[in-house]
Amino acid sequence: MTPESLLPLLLGIAWLLPLASFAMLWIGFSLPFLAGKRPGYGVQKGAAYIAIGAIGSSFVLSLISLIIWLAYHPIAADAHGHAGSIAYSGDFYSWISIGDLHLTIGYYIDALTVAMFTVVTLISTCVHVYSMGYMHEELHDVTDHEVATHGGEFLHRAGRYHRFYQYLSLFSFSMLGLLIAGSLGMVFMFWELVGICSYFLIGFYFERRSASNAANKAFIVNRVGDFGMLIGLMALWSSLGTLQFGDTPAEQGMFSKLRPAAHHHELAPAAMVGESATHESPAHEMANESAHADSEESSEGQPGYLLLFVGGVGIFCGCVGKSAQFPLHTWLPDAMEGPTPVSALVHSATMVAAGVYLVGRCYPIFVPEALLVIATVGAITLFLAATVAITAYDIKRVLAFSTISQLGYMMLALGLGGWLAGLFHLVTHAFFKSLLFLCSGSVIHAVHTNDMRQMGGLRHKMPWTAYTMLVGCLAIIGAGFPMWGWGLSGYFSKDSIIEQAWSFSIASPSPTYSLLLWLPLISAAITACYMFRLWYMTFTGEPANIEKYEHAHESPRSMVAPLVLLATLAVVAGWSIPFTGGLSLPAVLEQARPAGTLETTSGHWLTGLTIPDEHMSHAPEIKEPAGWAAFGCALGGLLLATMTYVWRWLRAEEVQDSFAPIHRLLSNGWWFDQIYDWMFVKTALLKSKFFAGIDRYVIDPLANGIARTLTVLAKLLDRVVDRGAVDGSLNGLASQTWNLGNSLHRLQTGRLRQYVLFLVLGTLGLFVAASLCWKYALAG
């Protein structure tokens, strides 16, 4: 078999195995559970083994696929994306075909797909295994001390161990479907399925109002972004006539249409106008042909460029919601209401990663101005989130804002032309952020609180958790040594982003654009500060709460083993594998770089905007100062945290008091929740009250008045017409009939003689009448 036929088969099975697990758990556990039959401890434990077996097998198949890919497509040192990436595309199943609309279950497989499959299934497997220990309380009946019943007692409910694994399986299937999708239509379908799964998992403890509200908030905020995404999809489909990424035997994909090989894969906005025109008239077809004849000239035509800008920004709007970017970032910190393993999965390898992945996948469609929008949103997001994280005391909320900030880094890199830097950081971040979340879960599991002010000194009780989390902290701040070019995974990926930002600031010299360099540098310092603030408050110093400290203990092996594995990956994920000729994660991802997206491009509307070639950032005059700047910022943040929480040269309480207004601003998340509450929730409630008042005081009285009038009229009609006329006439007729009957009954005397007399008189009368009739009849 060739890789063209083998890889879709392997990845297709890897994709469907979690779905099979979900179906088995639903049929075998949920249906009996809904019928009132509670599975026992051992049976519920089986749910974990089924789910782990499925996702573990998916990881093995993904790893085999990666090995096959590298065997058939070895890393080439001179492959810089000029010739275009190698990709296999096709359909598993044709779903609907109506006119020009073809909805299929298809695939688009390149190096990015294979690498992401391996990462997602690996981290999902770690989370599944970790959950066996973390969620063990759900094996039994649970008393939820955060929910009180009407009787004043705590809620007592059945455990949901099997349901948790059921949701995890469906979540993994959804994310893998998004990765293998061959078209934007299929992406959108699994995009929504991921959102629904997150709703179930965030609201896992749905009896708690906070969890229920968080699930609703995540669902609603994401729909706002999806509305923009739908606009983008419509703009692309109506213009290009297809949403397929790659070419298939049936039709040409949108990448080939927008970046035709005949034009050296340069962006051709004329395709947007040309394809839509073919559906209109022959005159437009002629215009289309003319437009295609000279892409350079037609690219200056506004309609195609504008449509492409709308399509790109529309797609990015969906990513803003899914990846919690400004201004739709507010749902992610609240999503911490879900179980901690869910947070690890959502924040590292599945839901929030989907937005960054989609921007990377759709990179050929973005014009420079759309990329600038992406970079700007990313820069604002990374700075805002970092400043909020430094004031949070909830260990999971610190990591949540950290995730938002790191996603901002990825978007910034993609927007500035750093396609490889953004996706490289996506993968390394998946390792160390899942590690950090699982470590926080281990701490919470031990001390039963999220508040870091109740912790301290835990490294003595939980050494494995403490030191693996230290590795995660070092990785996320980009710890390394620029003079030797050595560091943890985050050092390579984050420095790549800073280098690209540095390169961009040189290519587009402007005070405004320079913020896209300064904000990530400042945020790098803040990141180091809040991450080590978290670690110091949790694991060093004296215990803040003796009772919780005495109760704390190291987590079981099922939880520690994933921590060790992820810590190892957090260290080495950025390294080249020895004796393989330069095989590394960036080299693998480089194979998937979309054709034509490496070259330096300039804005059409913003003439001063230049998106530089990413390889230019590797030049020593950029790489060295950028590396030292990133190193200096991270070291400064680390020293500040150490001076405050270890050496105590600065007192955090005094700093807070000195900058109380700023502290209030940051601790309230820049008031975004309050602003949205005022702009949307309270406004909606005010409008609802207004219309309720109209309903209550205008419409209801009017309707009641009409009803009363009709009632009076009905009574009048009843009295005059019904009772007077109809009933009166009928009653009169009945009365006359009654009287007639009464008068006739007098003839009924019971006297035989009288009856004979009547009979004789009647007979005589008839005889006379008959005689008269006969006589006149004969005479006539």
Residue 285 belongs to a domain: no
Give the integer Cα–Cα distance in Å for 535 and 555: 17
Whether 174 and 121 map to the same domain: the answer is yes
* Of 491, 473, 482, the residue nearest 573 (C-alpha): 491
**Residue 584: half-sphere exposure toward Cβ, Cα within 13 Å:** 18
Whether 763 and 742 map to the same domain: the answer is no
Residue 296 belongs to a domain: no
Give the integer Cα–Cα distance in Å for 345 and 427: 13
Residues of the domain holding 379 = 368-650
Q: DSSP assignment, residue 135?
A: T
Last residue of a domain, one of 345, 366, 387: 366
Residue 24 belongs to a domain: yes
Give the count of domains, the chain. 4
Dihedral angle sign, alpha carbons of residues 390, 395, 397, 403:
positive
Whether 758 and 682 map to the same domain: the answer is no
Angle, in degrees to the nearest 10, between helices 368-389 and 660-667:
120
Last residue of a domain, one of 650, 666, 683: 650
**Residue 309: half-sphere exposure toward Cβ, Cα within 13 Å:** 16
Could you tell me which residues are beta bridge partners of residue 91?
106
Distances (CA, A) of 137 to 145, 164, 472, 555: 13, 12, 27, 14
Residue 686 belongs to a domain: yes
Residue 110 belongs to a domain: yes
Whether 476 and 424 map to the same domain: the answer is yes
Give the integer Cα–Cα distance in Å for 159 and 35: 15
Q: DSSP assignment, residue 248?
A: -
* Of 490, 530, 430, the residue nearest 630 (C-alpha): 490
Task: Let me know: does 185 contact 362? Beta carbons within 8 Å.
Answer: no
Residue 667 belongs to a domain: no
Dihedral angle sign, alpha carbons of residues 156, 160, 164, 167:
negative
Whether 246 and 359 map to the same domain: the answer is yes
pTM: 0.87
Give the integer Cα–Cα distance in Å for 745 and 681: 84
Q: Report the SS3 class of residue 624.
A: helix
* Of 213, 501, 488, 538, the residue nearest 382 (C-alpha): 501
Tokens of 51: 């789910």
pLDDT for residue 287: 45
pLDDT for residue 80: 52
Residue 481 belongs to a domain: yes
Whether 495 and 359 map to the same domain: the answer is no
Whether 201 and 309 map to the same domain: the answer is yes
- Owner of token pair 């694994």: 165
Burial letters for 353-370: b for 16+ Cβ neighbours within 10 Å, e otherwise?
Answer: bbbbbbbbbbbbbbbbbb
Q: DSSP assignment, residue 39?
A: P
pLDDT for residue 688: 93
Residues 6+ positions from 587 with CB-CB distance below 8 Å: 75, 576
Whether 346 and 476 map to the same domain: the answer is no
What secondary structure does DSSP assign to 557-611, as a single string? Answer: HHHHHHHHHHHHHHHHTTSBPTTSSS-BHHHHHHTTPPTT-SS-EE-SS-TT-EE
Whether 716 and 757 map to the same domain: the answer is no
Computed over its alpha carbons, how large is the radius of gyration of the chain?
38
Residues of the chain with pLDDT under 70: 76-84, 274-301, 778-780
Whether 379 and 436 map to the same domain: the answer is yes
Whether 713 and 639 map to the same domain: the answer is no
Q: Report the SS3 class of residue 103.
A: strand
pLDDT for residue 278: 52
Residues 6+ positions from 21 with CB-CB distance below 8 Å: 50, 51, 53, 54, 55, 165, 169
Whether 189 and 246 map to the same domain: the answer is yes
Residue 666 belongs to a domain: no
Indicate the pairing of strand 154-157 with strand 142-148. Answer: antiparallel
Task: Let me know: does 226 contact 262? Beta carbons within 8 Å.
Answer: no
